[in-house]
Amino acid sequence: MMRPKIVLFGDSITEQSIGENGWGVSLANAYSRRADVLVRGYGGYNTRWAMFLLHHLFPLDSTTPIATTIFFGANDAALLGRTSERQHVPIEEFKENLRKFVRHLKECSPTMQIVLITPPPLNEEGRLAFAKSKYGEKATKVSERTNEVTGQYANACVEVANEMGVWYINLWSKMQETDGWQTKLLSDGLHLTTEGNTVVYREVIKVFNEAGLSTDNLPFDFPHHSKIDSEHPERAFQQNTCDVQL
């Protein structure tokens, strides 16, 4: 019995999801013995650079994922003329790149659940403080990203999701519902705190549940040990179905 795969495709916020208290770890734990969560996060990448990976990453081995999250935009939204301008991607190209991602995944598997996640909101003060901690007095005095522009990329992401009929999570809006999101949910104005990771995890699980991928719907790949008759262990493994009510 092949265990299904869930792929998390994105930038550093996805790469770091496998770290302590990361939303990827929480997902992997939730789907333990039911699905493998594979992290394909590439720190610093924008959608233009991620395009080079697309056909290498999907399809993945012999099986296509049952679900993929696509979580870009934080780097695409870096401003021209500021310190991270090399990562900037114009908003129309960002949208077109997302469309290409979705189109390719749908070609890999028409039944794959695709979830576009918008970039989180951005806290400019947090970015400046981070730059200062890294570069001291030489640090930039103007943030390389703004919340306003990041919001435009978030909206663009939602537009593409609606246009193409795939799931989305508007993280930019969702996070700003929390008082003190600037430091409560973001560690350096951009990346996630433990609480920020929890928000992403909950939102992803919510969408997966709506999409029919609740853990209850995905059986264990092999039986729970309590289902094994110690006198006749082979019986538990002859059944093709694993009881999902464990």
Applying CB under 8 A, the residues found at the interface with its own copies are 1-2, 15, 18-21, 25, 28-29, 32-33, 36, 38-39, 41-45, 48-49, 52-53, 56, 61-63, 86-87, 222, 224-226, 228, 230, 233-234, 236-237
- Here the tokens at position 224 are 């729970």
DSSP 125: H
- Across the beta sheet with 36-41, the strand order is 36-41, 5-10, 67-71, 113-117, 167-169
Per the annotation, the verdict on 12 as an active-site residue is yes
Return the number of the residue (87 or 123) whose C-beta is nearest its own copies: 87
Return the number of the residue (139 or 236) whose C-beta is nearest its own copies: 236
Cβ 183 to its own copies, closest distance in Å? 23
Name the 3-class secondary structure at 213: coil
- Here the tokens at position 137 are 């007095």
Identified catalytic residue from 12, 109, 173, 187:
12
Return the number of the residue (138 or 232) whose C-beta is nearest its own copies: 232
Cβ 58 to its own copies, closest distance in Å? 13
Q: How far is CA 19 from CA 30, 120, 193, 206, in A?
A: 16, 18, 11, 22
Active-site residue set:
12
